[in-house]
Amino acid sequence: MAKERIKTALAFGKEREEKANKPAGNTIPVPAGSTKNKKRLGRGIGSKTGKTGGRGSKGQYARNTVRRGFEGGQMPIHRRLPKRGFTSIFHKDFFPINLRDLEKSGLTGNIDAKIMVESKILDNESTLFKILGTGEITKAIHIVADGFSASAKEKIEKAGGSVKLRSEIASKEA
């Protein structure tokens, strides 16, 4: 123990031996050229980046920083424009699907989001969609959607079909 301390004391200021149980550090290799040194500004006029250090001569930008949105004392745009209305956090955007789209796709029987994704009417099963009444429907369809317009509901039921809301089915299952 004493020999180790003497050896350490003699090695003071010199390169010391690495301890065997020291962790290796970052073992992930860094690709060549992925890290660059920061540009060293203001190292004398002979360095090309000296004297004014890329800030030009005089003025506010050379002397201090300018806060975001500052327009030189002019009334900023975010204060000139009127503030009106608000965006509700409960607002839901529905993807509109018209009855003519369902008629054109040739879907019959029970129709839900999964079938609409397979027939490329919808992109995703979780998309909220509403059936609108533009167009006519001739076949009886039983459709499950997130919303219906009054005219669409009337036309579907007139053709011998039925409508159900997806939220009602989910609440019954839960």
3-class DSSP state of 113: helix
Model-wide pTM > 0.85: no
Q: Report pLDDT digits (tens) over 6-56.
A: 777 776 655 655 555 555 666 778 888 888 888 888 899 888 888 888 888
The overall average pLDDT reported for the chain is 87
Is it the case that residue 164 has pLDDT exceeding 60?
A: yes
The C-alpha R_g of the chain, in whole angstroms, comes to 35
Are the CB atoms for 135 and 115 separated by under 8 Å?
Answer: no
Determine the structural domain holding residue 153 and report its residue range: 95-171
Distance CA 97, CA 119 (A): 13
Cα→Cα distances 167→39, 87, 111, 131, 148, Å: 59, 23, 15, 15, 12
Is it the case that residue 90 has pLDDT exceeding 90?
A: yes
What domain count does the chain have?
A: 1
Distance CA 140, CA 110 (A): 9
Residue 37 lies in a domain: no
Residue 65 lies in a domain: no
Residue 130 lies in a domain: yes
Is it the case that residue 171 has pLDDT exceeding 80?
A: yes
Are the CB atoms for 148 and 128 separated by under 8 Å?
Answer: no
